[in-house]
Amino acid sequence: MPTIREVAARAGVSPATVSRVMKGEVPVNAETRARVEAAISALGYAPNAFARSLASNRLGGVGLVISHLAGPFMGRVMMTLEATLRQANVSLLVASGGGEAEREQEAVDFLINRRCDGLIVHADALADETLSALAATTPLVVFNRRVAEIEAHCIYLDNECGGYLATRHLLEQGHRHIACLTGPLKQQDAAGRLAGYHRALGEWGIEADTRMIIEGDFVEGSGERGMTTLLARGLPVTAVVAGNDDMALGAMTLLRARGIAVPQTLSLVGYDNEACSRHVVPSLSTIHAPLEEMAQDAAERLLMLVAGDALPPAMSFTPTLIERETVAPPKV
Amino acid sequence: MPTIREVAARAGVSPATVSRVMKGEVPVNAETRARVEAAISALGYAPNAFARSLASNRLGGVGLVISHLAGPFMGRVMMTLEATLRQANVSLLVASGGGEAEREQEAVDFLINRRCDGLIVHADALADETLSALAATTPLVVFNRRVAEIEAHCIYLDNECGGYLATRHLLEQGHRHIACLTGPLKQQDAAGRLAGYHRALGEWGIEADTRMIIEGDFVEGSGERGMTTLLARGLPVTAVVAGNDDMALGAMTLLRARGIAVPQTLSLVGYDNEACSRHVVPSLSTIHAPLEEMAQDAAERLLMLVAGDALPPAMSFTPTLIERETVAPPKV
DNA sequence: GGCCATCATGAAACCGGTTTCATGATGACA
DNA sequence: TGTCATCATGAAACCGGTTTCATGATGGCC
């Protein structure tokens, strides 16, 4: 593995000049540059990443903190992040936190200790203040979450809009008794979706019935349990908005077991447009998020921050409704 | 950010001693150690990762090369890898190759240039020789693939066994005309599954009919197309072994469209036990791989290699059959 | 008491880049 | 022709650890 000094010796220049040629920003005499470049390719020189990092105090890589690596859409997000970052010759370090605040903080510390140039954080459990404090010390982008004080650092979906779209779709089909199986309401995404549900009902002049709103945890089982609770209450529900596709799937499992026909007796809308939702029978109507665009924006914003550039204004991403087979007009 | 020299000054020792206390392997006088430790915690000292890497020529991190980050089970694999590695205080760098040999090679080079201490490679497109050559220069573990020359470096599923289990299950139910929708046969996993199919048929004294074997590419659409082709051939097929769950799902979609009842008219077995397979209707019988155990073994083997230890003998992981609703005895 | 092995420790070299500062060359301008 | 700005380049300091080698202290043994 040749060093910069060997290259310099071969080209008959000093290491400093080789360094200047490598980064290409400072002007170097054309003929000197050619000699150096020849030496570089002759020796197959590649700069030592450690030495470079030590001297410049930059890693050339960013960290990704993620709550649930095995979550339904992390693959799509990571794929785009990785591709965008690698194009900029920036590497991606991954640490996971499993949705517990303490372990997420550990993950952050782990990456900070590695001297990452910046951080992309996709964490449920960390507090808003922790994140905005972090943003003050490190280039930071927050994924799938909005923290007001650092809005331009946040890449998030307009969940209120998504909840609204789902509910409005059911209203337009004629439903008037619409229940809502939410995610954990201390999480912003779940709360936003519920707010959209309320707004849609409000626009139709319908007062929300709290007995029709059941909090779950975004996991399948809670969809099943929530639906059980809902049925037990004996309300005249004709449609359900689920917190996400997993919960919708859980609900569908229960409904099938109880012999309740979807969508004939009960309509259902999910959220997230997971791969699976297209395959279940009947296929699940749901809300789609432009994850790839969001991930690309996240990577680009982080690169700007790392470069010291100012961020463009904050922007939320808009979800869209995917109509499939779980929604039909209510029976009269 | 305090340096080792500041700690040394405060503790009244030399930087060398602080360094020795930090790694804890060389004996240090108990009282000196206590003083140094006090200084470390008083200053909140954390060693600079760059300097450490430069001096010791080790990154303290390993690279993961992955063909398809968004693939159906990468989440589960990465989760376990990350957790196991982080326990050893080793960070994880990720690069993806998208299933093209050239880009996978680029990903490998990218990580090698970052001076990773080792590499976990989960790549379809790279050649066996490339991998065994790489193993000679870098601590290397190959995931989900067997390369004979570096067998102990490989973590793989016994796909032949999986194919056998799927086929035998159908045979035991009384099926005698079993088709096979395979993945791309140049890939080892697809070829292994097909070999298991052949072995099971052989044990039952049935000669395989090449018209019943259709090659696809592990993606849903190829399941649909394969099934179309199969039906068009008008063979007396009563059951199908699919290359993976995605292909099985594609086949189910087509069968539903054609009004062919699963499992009454046609039985179906998938492979991979994706989250989705439990939710489709009827739920998909499939083959389960112990991915978490495999990932943990991969991480542990890599850590051994990095530490310079010898590897334990190679071991393949055994898949299991998950019986659900897509298999029934053939109609008489 | 003298000699040698053992042990803890410090001084300094080293890893391989980047960056600052000094220098010599070149050319413009009066 | 003399002076000063400009430019390309080199020397050397620097980043912050690790590691080698030397040294001084301690103690066991004859």
Residue B328: inside a domain, yes or no? no
Q: How far apart (Å, rounded) are the C-alpha atoms in residues B197 and B199?
A: 6
Q: Tokens at residue B292, please? A: 């978490």
Residue of A158, A111, A150, A156 whose CA lies nearest to A130:
A150
Alpha helices in chain B (DSSP H): 4-11, 15-23, 30-43, 49-56, 74-87, 101-113, 128-137, 159-172, 188-203, 220-232, 245-258, 291-307
Please compute the mean of the pLDDT values over residues A35-57 and round it to a whole number: 94
B71–A contact, CB cutoff 8 A: yes
Spatial distance between the Cα atoms of A180 and A209, rounded to a whole number of angstroms = 10
**CA distance linking residue A326 with residue A173, whole number of Å:** 12
What is the model's pLDDT at position A1? 85
B277 and B163 in a common domain: yes
Beta bridge pairs of residue A241? A180, A269
Residue A113 forms contact with B (CB below 8 Å): yes
| Residues 6 or more apart whose Cβ sits within 8 Å of residue A180 | A167, A194, A197, A212, A213, A214, A240, A241, A243
Judgement on whether residues B310 and B242 belong to the same structural domain of the protein: no
> How long is chain A?
332
Is residue B211 within 8 Å of residue B178, measured between CB atoms?
Answer: no
Number of domains in chain B: 3
Please report, for the domain that includes residue B41, its CATH number.
1.10.260.40
Mean pLDDT within B225-248? 96
SS3 A310: coil
pLDDT (tens digit per residue) in A289-326: 999 999 999 999 999 999 889 999 989 999 999 999 99
Considering only CA atoms, name the residue closest to the C1' of nucleotide C9.
Answer: B17
Q: Do B75 and A70 touch (CB under 8 A)?
A: yes
Co-location of B62 and B149 in the same domain: yes
Q: Are A22 and A52 in contact (CB under 8 A)?
A: no
Q: What angle do CA B192, B198, B200 make, to 5 degrees?
A: 105
Write out chain B residues lying below 8 Å of A46, CB-based.
113
How confident is the model over A209-261, as pLDDT tens digits?
999 999 999 999 999 999 999 999 999 999 999 999 999 999 999 999 999 99
Query: For residue B115, which residues of chain A lie inside 8 Å, CB to CB?
Result: 48-50
Residue B167 CA to nucleotide D7 C1', Å? Answer: 77
The separation between the first and the last C-alpha atoms of chain A, rounded to the nearest angstrom, is 78
Residue among A61, A72, A281 whose CB faces B280 most closely: A281
Q: Are residues B88 and B202 in the same domain?
A: no
Strand B91-96 versus strand A91-96 pairing type: antiparallel
Compare CB distances from A249 to B50, B60, B279 and report the shortest one's residue.
B279
Protein CA B101 to sugar C1' C24 (Å): 52
Distance B47 CA to D16 C1' (A): 8
Averaged over B272-300, what is the pLDDT? Answer: 93
Per the domain annotation, does B86 fall within a domain? Answer: yes
Q: Assign A279 a pLDDT band (cuts: 50, 70, 90).
A: confident
The structure tokens listed for B22 are: 């930090």
Inform me whether the C-beta atom of residue A88 falls under 8 Å from chain B C-beta atoms. Answer: no
**B124/B201 same-domain check:** no
With 0-12 / 13-18 / 19 or more C-beta atoms within 10 angstroms meaning exposed / middle / buried, residue B164 is buried
Å between A20 CA and nearest CA of chain B: 20
Q: Tell me which DSSP letter residue B285 carries.
A: B
Q: What is the pLDDT of residues A53-83, one digit of tens each?
A: 999 999 999 999 998 888 778 899 999 999 9
Non-local (6+) Cβ contacts of B303 within 8 A are B84, B85, B88, B90
Q: Contacts of residue A79 in chain B, CB cutoff 8 Å? A: 68-70, 96
Q: Which of residues 115-144 of A touch B (CB under 8 A)?
A: 115
- List the A228 CA – C2 C1' distance (angstroms): 92
**A52 within some domain:** no
Which residues, including other chains, have CB under 8 Å from residue B17's CB and lie 6 or more apart?
B8, B11, B28, B32, B36
Would residue A328 count as lying in a domain? Answer: no
Identify which of A242, A251, A236 has the alpha carbon closest to the alpha carbon of residue A269. A242
Residue A32: its H or E element = helix A30-43
Please check whether residue B196 is in contact with residue B166, taking contact to mean a CB–CB distance below 8 angstroms: yes
Confidence at residue B226, expressed as pLDDT on a 0 to 100 scale: 97
Give the Cα separation of B11 and B287 in Å (integer): 60
Nucleotides on chain D within 7 angstroms of protein Cβ: 7-12, 14-20
Give the pairing of strands A61-66 and A154-157.
Answer: unpaired
Residue range B180-210, pLDDT digits in tens: 999 999 989 999 999 999 999 999 999 999 9
Pairing, β B239-242 against β A91-96: unpaired
pLDDT exceeds cutoff 90 at B279: no
State whether residue A318 is helix, strand or coil. Answer: coil
B 168-207 residues with CB < 8 A to A: none
| d(C-alpha A47, C-alpha A55), whole Å | 12
B88 touches chain A (CB under 8 A): no
User: Is the minimum distance from the CB of A4 to strand D below 7 Å?
Assistant: no
- pLDDT over 90 (residue B43): yes
Please name the residues in contact with A30: beta carbons below 8 A apart, sequence gap of 6 or more.
none
Tracing tokens 């993620």 back to the chain, one arrives at A66
Same domain, A34 and A179: no
**DSSP string over B2-59:** --HHHHHHHHTS-HHHHHHHHH--S---HHHHHHHHHHHHHHT----HHHHHHHHT--
Subunit contact A115:B53, Cβ cutoff 8 A: no
User: Residue B72: pLDDT above 80?
Assistant: no
Whole-angstrom distance, CA of residue A134 vs CA of residue A121: 10
- Per the prediction, chain B carries an average pLDDT of 94
CB contact under 8 A, B70 and A78: yes
- Count of Cβ atoms closer than 10 Å to residue A145 Cβ: 20
Measure the CA–CA gap between B121 and B95, rounded to whole angstroms.
Answer: 10
Q: Which residues of A touch B111 (CB under 8 A)?
A: 91
CA distance A167 to A195: 11
Mean pLDDT of all residues in B73-77 = 89
CB atoms inside a 10 Å sphere around CB B198: 18
pLDDT digits (tens, 9 = 90+) for B83-119: 999 999 999 999 998 888 999 999 999 999 999 999 9
Determine the Cα–Cα distance for residues B298 and A199; give it in Å rounded to an integer: 50
Please tell me the predicted confidence (pLDDT) of residue A27: 83
| CA nearest to A32, candidates A9, A13, A47 | A13
Chain A residues within an 8 Å CB radius of B51: 54
Pairing assessment for the beta strands A140-143 and A154-157 based on DSSP bridges: parallel
pLDDT at residue A206 in the model: 96
CATH code, A197: 3.40.50.2300
Residue B264 in this model has a pLDDT that exceeds 90 = yes
The pLDDT of residue B332 is above 80: no
Domain interval for residue B101: 57-158+291-318
CA distance A206 to chain B (A): 34
Mapped onto helix, strand or coil, the DSSP state of residue B189 is: helix
Check if A53 contacts B (Cβ < 8 Å): yes
Kindly provide the b/e burial profile for residues B70-82, where b requires at least 16 CB atoms within 10 angstroms of the residue's own CB: bbbbbbbbbbbbb
Residue B265 lies in a domain: yes
DSSP A150: G
Residues B16, B113 within the same domain: no
Least confident of A24-38, A80-94, A252-266: A24-38
pLDDT top residue among B279 and B325: B325
Q: Write down the pLDDT at residue A332.
A: 73
**Contact flag, residue B39 CB and nucleic strand D, below 7 A:** no
Asked if residue A78 belongs to a domain, the reply is yes
A274 C-beta neighbours (distance < 10 Å), count = 23
- Give the distance from residue A62's alpha carbon to the nearest chain B alpha carbon, in angstroms: 10
Domain co-membership, B22 together with B64: no
φ, ψ for residue A113 (rounded to 5)?
-60, -30
* CA→C1' distance for B126 and C17 (Å): 33
Do A169 and A278 fall within a single domain? yes
Q: Which nucleotides in chain C have some atom under 7 angstroms from a protein Cβ?
A: 7-12, 14-20
Taking the CA of residue B225 and the C1' sugar atom of nucleotide C17, their distance in angstroms comes to 56
Structural domain includes residue A330: no
Q: What is the pLDDT of residues B162-181, one digit of tens each?
A: 999 999 999 999 999 999 99
β-pair partners for B288:
B320
Tokens of A65: 């903190």
Q: What angle do CA B303, B304, B308 make, to 5 degrees?
A: 115
Q: Say if CB B229 and CB B235 are below 8 A apart.
A: no
Does residue A151 sit in the same domain as residue A295?
yes
Angle at Cα A107 formed by Cα A102 and Cα A108, nearest 5°?
100
| Residues B125, B39 share a domain | no
Structure tokens at A98: 């499993």
Q: How far is CA A168 from the centre of its chain?
A: 25
Q: For residues A42 and A87, state if they share a domain.
A: no
Mean pLDDT along residues A22-42: 90
Distance CA A117, CA A82 (A): 15
Indicate yes or no: strand D within 7 A of the C-beta of B55: yes
Within-domain flag for B330:
no
Please give the DSSP secondary-structure letter assigned to residue A65: E
pLDDT category of residue B130 using cuts at 50, 70 and 90: very high
What residue has token string 């849609």? A200
Q: Report chain A's mean pLDDT, rounded to a whole number.
A: 94
